[in-house]
Amino acid sequence: MNKQYQFWFCVGSQDLYGEECLRNVAEHAQAMVKEINDSGDLPFPLVYKPILITAEMIHRTFKEAGEDDTCAGVITWMHTFSPAKSWIKGLQANTKPLMHLHTQFNEAIPYDDIDMDFMNENQSAHGGREYGHIVSRMGLARKVIAGHWRNEGVRRRIASWMRTAVGIVESSRLRVMRVADNMRNVAVTEGDKVEAQLKFGWEVDAWPVTELAHAVAAVSASDTNALVDEYYDTYDIILDGRDKDEFRRHVAVQAQIELGFERFLKEKNYHAIVTHFDDLGTLQQLPGLAIQRLMSKGYGFGAEGDWKTAAMVRLMKLMTADIKNAKGTSMLEDYTYHLVPGQEGILQAHMLEICPSLASGKPAIRCQPLTMGNREDPARLVFTSKTGPGVAVSLIDLGTRFRLIVAGVDCLANEKPMPKLPVATVFWKPQPDFTTGVEAWILAGGAHHTAFSYDLTVEQMVDWAEHMGIEALVIDQHTTLRTFKQEILLGNAVYR
């Protein structure tokens, strides 16, 4: 689903140390790129760029990176000292996510042989500080990763930042289709779409539900039947006592919606969609199974007109694309609490639309009544979800600015089955504990809708927000309410 992204590996030096030193710097950089690429540790390849020794070269390289659509980020490393004024023009021209890899070719000090030539050639400790100074003085967002380039943890962090960088570059081309407006009277799903385009690059457009309904009606019976066959092959069927032909007709309505919506989204070039149960036009059912399938194909989704969540789900899908053994990414909603002492947690669900990528086993299709939407009983996928840590984010509009709330959560197995609940669920315990996590979320103004992923971390989402120039409030195992309240006050002063 992603482009064939690459990351440019740009090494800084200068001509003060002579030809031999520069040759060594280039050899080292090329050897590192080759070894790291061959390791398969990174999700995207590094591309070696000629050693940067003058302001003109640095400027030209950043400009070329900006013009190259396959370049998702620039990774910089100061092998030797590189006077940082020569980086100013280039950094001013930079439009790509930036990383400062603060590493050194040699892991160990060669105690027996070390001389001044070695020191001059291997002075990242020195040159990296000069470079870091100018990036800080210019106030540019960048990721700093320090450590030896062969270290597993360092590579893991580079790999994880690469996915953040994809979230940053993809943000600028994200297009959200709004089918109907926000749910009446709801505050947190509202927001400034112009500001979102300025800040994140998102294009958020409204389309009449009648046009989508026409696209759905235009889907042929044979295409619909083929997709229903696929559903029956892929998922379990829980009839709940319904007639099996009547059940299949209900399922077919969702298959037709999936195909019609997907064709319309593709034709109009949108990557995320919102629906609203109060504005369904001639659609026979609230899109349930159809939306769940679209999410599993990588589309973003937000319910009740929540375009901010739809956009975040889409971005997080892109950030996690092609992860081996990915555990899943979806929109979720805080629904019901379990408040039994020692077992506290939040049951996450929605009326229908949870992405089956979260499922721990084979999802099943059920058709159950739904008062919301005032249409026939919608078919939906039900399942319980995987266990383990994940990250839940909520992007809110505070009127004058956006805030991203980023929460670490621990998903647990359901204590008992819930046979009468006809929706997919996740049960999680907020970090650092139920009381602190929930109280911090409320104080931060976090929404009831979240974009959630098992496959991303708090660090990745915070880095994304930092690059976008918005506040990120973190609720994780280090959170205490006293410092969290201070962070809110600090954010109010800093972000205006």
Contacting range for Mn ion; rule: CB under 5 A; set: 221-229, 235-243, 303-311, 312-320? 303-311
Q: Give least dist CB 333 to Mn ion, A.
A: 5
Q: Give least dist CB 31 to Mn ion, A.
A: 52
Residues 319-348 that bind Mn ion (CB under 5 A): 333
Number of residues that bind Mn ion (CB under 5 A): 2
Q: In terms of CB distance, is 145 or 303 closer to Mn ion?
A: 303
Q: Give least dist CB 44 to Mn ion, A.
A: 35
Q: Give least dist CB 352 to Mn ion, A.
A: 10
SS3 per residue for the chain: CCCCCEEEEEEECCHHHCHHHHHHHHHHHHHHHHHHHHHCCCCCCEEECCCECCHHHHHHHHHHHHHCCCEEEEEEEECCCCCHHHHHHHHHHCCCCEEEEECCCCCCCCCCCCCHHHHHHCCHHHHHHHHHHHHHHCCCCCEEEECCCCCHHHHHHHHHHHHHHHHHHHHCCCEEEEECCCCCCCCCCCCCHHHHHHHHCCEEEEECHHHHHHHHHCCCHHHHHHHHHHHHHHCEECCCCCCHHHHHHHHHHHHHHHHHHHHHHHHHCCCEEECCCCCCCCCCCCCCHHHHHHHHCCCEEEHHHCHHHHHHHHHHHHHCCCCCCCCCEEEEEEEEEECCCCCCEEEEECCCCCCHHHECCCCEEEECCCCCCCCCCCEEEECEECCEEEEEEEEEECCCCEEEEEEEEEEECCCCCCCCCCCCEEEEEECCCHHHHHHHHHHHCCCCEEEEECCCCHHHHHHHHHHHCCEEEEECCCCCHHHHHHHHHHHHHHCC
Q: In terms of CB distance, is 303 or 313 closer to Mn ion?
A: 303
Q: In terms of CB distance, is 80 or 348 closer to Mn ion?
A: 348
Q: Give least dist CB 448 to Mn ion, A.
A: 6
**Residue closest to Mn ion when measured from CB atoms:** 303
Q: Give least dist CB 33 to Mn ion, A.
A: 46
Q: Give least dist CB 189 to Mn ion, A.
A: 8
Q: In terms of CB distance, is 25 or 310 closer to Mn ion?
A: 310
Q: In terms of CB distance, is 276 or 366 closer to Mn ion?
A: 276
Query: Applying CB under 5 A, which of residues 84, 280, 303, 352 lies at the interface with Mn ion?
Result: 303
Q: In terms of CB distance, is 140 or 372 closer to Mn ion?
A: 372
Contacting range for Mn ion; rule: CB under 5 A; set: 14-22, 84-92, 299-307, 363-371? 299-307
Residues 368-407 that bind Mn ion (CB under 5 A): none
Q: In terms of CB distance, is 213 or 423 closer to Mn ion?
A: 423
Using the rule CB under 5 A, is 162 a contact of Mn ion? Answer: no
Q: Give least dist CB 449 to Mn ion, A.
A: 6
Contacting range for Mn ion; rule: CB under 5 A; set: 64-72, 90-98, 298-306, 398-406? 298-306
Q: In terms of CB distance, is 262 or 333 closer to Mn ion?
A: 333
Residues that bind Mn ion (CB under 5 A): 303, 333
